[in-house]
Amino acid sequence: MKMVMSLFSGVVVTLFSLNLAVAAPSNMQDSSRHLYDRVMEEFKHRDYEAALAGFRFFLELHGQSSLAANAQYWVGECQYRLGRYKEALKSFYHVVSYYPLSPKLSASTLKIGQTYTRMKDHEKARMMYERVVDQYPESAEAELARKALDAMPMRDEEPVSQLTGNSLSD
């Protein structure tokens, strides 16, 4: 029932937003921000199902807005917190693939690594953590990625036959 009421309030806010947008196009960004902020409140209250529905709804209505990449990231975050790891991966990869200038790139890349860790795919997780450290070395996400790398199991050692082959220094 709470989810239905939350969605209903989101629809009402959105319809009101659409009316504002028709009446005054300069208010379009304000109305999308209002809806985004309303959905973030659901997330902050840990109502991830309602927030997931709200962010998807936001993307349907405001998919071209400056907040679209953020909304896509939060879709993935909701899915992650609900334990829907395969869906979360798709959402985080969507941010990385379709929003190359988003401020959520480092966070999305880190979350891909964390999601692979949850899925026990340590090699892919390691690769994503290393990407965060390489591409965003001064970010808070890089610090988290370094800690995750330190906590990961060691890679398997290379076979001795590969180590004794010709090298560039020979």
Per-residue pLDDT reduced to its tens digit, 90-106: 999 999 999 999 999 99
| The pLDDT value given to residue 31 | 86
Neighbours of 169 (CB within 10 A): 4
| pLDDT for res 21 | 42
Instruction: Please state the rounded mean pLDDT for residues 158-168.
Output: 43
CA angle at residue 42 from 37 to 47, to 5 degrees? 160
Handedness of CA 48, 132, 144, 102 (dihedral sign): negative
pTM to 2 decimals?
A: 0.75
Q: What is d(CA 168, CA 41) in angstroms, rounded to the nearest whole number?
A: 57
Mean pLDDT of 72-90: 98
The CATH class, in words, for 92-153 is mainly alpha
Distance CA 129, CA 105 (A): 13
Stretch(es) of the chain classified as CATH 1.25.40.10: 92-153
